[in-house]
Structure 1
């Protein structure tokens, strides 16, 4: 149980408003740190991460204990208690992935729509606070009880003041777990680098990599489900599919958002068009970020080819750049936004981009504490996806 003295030092977790994909909701711990429920296999990966891969993964910052607390109004708050960490992963409660993520939710029988509205208000406020440029935001996100990501005509709402996917994850867990929370029970969360904290308006593309998505520990039913998803999407034909996206539209001052359901329906040509859309700010193609992204992906490809026995099943790859172009800024950007790549004859030569691998709950490698099967050689499915991704981006750069 959590004592009063520990509670006073607890950190209030907030929704991470820049989550564009995945089914596990991310929480904001502080400006430069996010957290997620701990999975032993993912912890094992971070603890034995090869040096060459560190520049392509979020920095691992440790483990923190998290608990739920109810206030006098019946609302639940998710709190992290740094002083209550468990020692040794052997004693970690791996059920933490089940009961979590209730940020200021009412435990009473409030209607689903009302809960969504209250959460959207908080997400919008948090999103505004997270953007140093204080961009003009749309706050007229429609609330649909059938699907948070569709309007009344079953069309996806693309223009949002904050990415709706995080809200979608929260609502799913609210419906499933509202009657199962255990106040003050400790759950273990991973602390990871917030890889978009340095960006004014982070444009993020979440790509599910590889031709296989199920882990070695998947049940036959889950295995069959994931195989079918791959066969019916670009995972099979290209080794990569869109899992989520947000791209800043400079002409309108909002983000255009897409989710994993959109990505599953794409053909190879639709995938190419989506990549081009990700690189367009509403006015023009961001050619200034294209070459730096390709260079980063080529560097990652070189590293992956050397990682024998690693299989990155169900992992994702984030491609990130700043929606605020250097030439549009009225004030100097901080040193984090000054790019390390330079494009010849390009007026926006200070482009800052990033490429990061995430989500390693089903990653396996020789020597893993949670290893199920030992493989030889590199992950050829992942390599296949990276090579196709690079090829498509090169074609876009060449105007093909």
Structure 2
């Protein structure tokens, strides 16, 4: 890979975005802004949701950190970079952590050019995949050299496996599609707005992530007749209809082989109810054993989320996802005489780990089609909580309980 510096590292406020390493689902490209923050293309409805988020739901959603302006910049060789220019008001309230990014740049300079690190004077500078646009097509060059050496292994519905480098293949697919679309449909310097959101896996060494599409209905109120029919068919032919939840992607760290095992949304769509149960079991299995200590904390957080959703009248979370996250790196051994993690109290906040309890996190994401009283579209106002979402949570909790009782 040729690392291209298509913008001056000394430019004030300039951030070169890189693909987010652990994107397991969705269709919009999620980019890494800095170690603790990701960004994604702005959808007005989703932005308004974050800006008016009920207090009770903040525990279960990524922290919203404002917006940035992003554009493509091309160098003399035709390579493009996604460059973010933070808005002035965002720069004052949100500081970019420059250290790790510069370290990645210097390491890449050594490994790709054979030269030693060169001084860099600008704010956060990271490196991303390059692509070259030609009149015929966008030629994607997507091998990304990252600071991690963990491989990602893709497994399809038939059990066939293939190693796909050091970037989750679904995230890479989304990144390629997004850059291709920007390259072919928009002028080079057109400005785009992105949302800045908390990187909810930044504290995990080997983040195991399960992306669940929640609810029995996935189309938004503004969907065309064609899109509505397409989404209804997907729900009817998957576990969305019978369980209110289906798998849209996952990665689970295998401690025996030192790689991530990945599944995508096409795998999830084909699962039967029994297949869904087996996939959930596999998500909690590290290649050598079932992580039984995770079952209690995950269920308790899901129960807490269920209580919150039941209290939110008029909200419908169409096409939103729920992330279940834990660390594939097991916690240190418990001290003799200390209580078993499953005997500990409920975690006060997602991701915390009091008393040696393994870190577990539950987060709702993707609100581009969420509707609620007071949102911009008043044509459809619902009463009461979201029944499809509640149905999915109840079934998910029950399946986890069955797995726990089966041990």
For the residues of structure 1 that align with 2:185 and 2:221, how far apart are their CA atoms? 29
Q: How does 1:107-186 map to 2 (within 5 A)?
A: 107-108=133-134, 115=140, 118-120=141-143, 122=144, 125-126=145-146, 128=148, 137-138=150-151, 155=160, 157=162, 161-186=166-191
User: Of residues 59, 65, 77 in structure 2, which corresponds to 1:73?
Assistant: 77
Deviation at 1:179, TM superposition (A): 2.3
User: Residue 380 and residue 203 in structure 1: after superposition, are their counterparts in 2 closer, same or farther (change >3 A)?
Assistant: same
1:393 partner SS: helix
1:327 partner SS: coil
2:184 partner SS: coil
Q: Is the 8 A contact 1:321 1:352 kept in 2?
A: yes
Match of 2:120 in 1: none
Deviation at 1:307, TM superposition (A): 0.2
**Structure 1 range deviating more: 379-388 or 8-17:** 8-17
In the superposition, the TM-score normalised over structure 1's length comes to 0.81
Q: Which runs of 4+ in 1 moved over 6 A?
A: 3-6, 109-112
1:292 partner SS: helix
Structure 1, unaligned runs of 5 or more: 87-101, 129-135, 142-148, 330-340
How much is the aligned-residue C-alpha RMSD, in angstroms?
2.8
For the residues of structure 2 that align with 1:164 and 1:312, how far apart are their CA atoms? 27
2:87 partner SS: helix
For the residues of structure 1 that align with 2:8 and 2:134, how far apart are their CA atoms? 25
Match of 1:369 in 2: 376
For the residues of structure 1 that align with 2:224 and 2:205, how far apart are their CA atoms? 42
Q: Is the 8 A contact 1:196 1:202 kept in 2?
A: yes
Deviation at 1:83, TM superposition (A): 3.2
User: Residue 296 and residue 127 in structure 1: after superposition, are their counterparts in 2 closer, same or farther (change >3 A)?
Assistant: farther
For the residues of structure 1 that align with 2:343 and 2:54, how far apart are their CA atoms? 33
Could you give the per-residue CA deviations for residues 297-330 of structure 1, whole angstroms, max 9, x where no partner exists?
000000000000000000000000000001379x
For these two proteins, the number of residue pairs brought into alignment is 348
In the superposition, the TM-score normalised over structure 2's length comes to 0.79
User: Of residues 24, 28, 34 in structure 2, which corresponds to 1:24?
Assistant: 28
Are 2:82 and 1:83 equivalent residues in the alignment?
A: no
Match of 1:394 in 2: 401
For the residues of structure 1 that align with 2:129 and 2:356, how far apart are their CA atoms? 41
User: Of residues 28, 38, 53 in structure 1, which corresponds to 2:42?
Assistant: 38
Match of 2:115 in 1: none
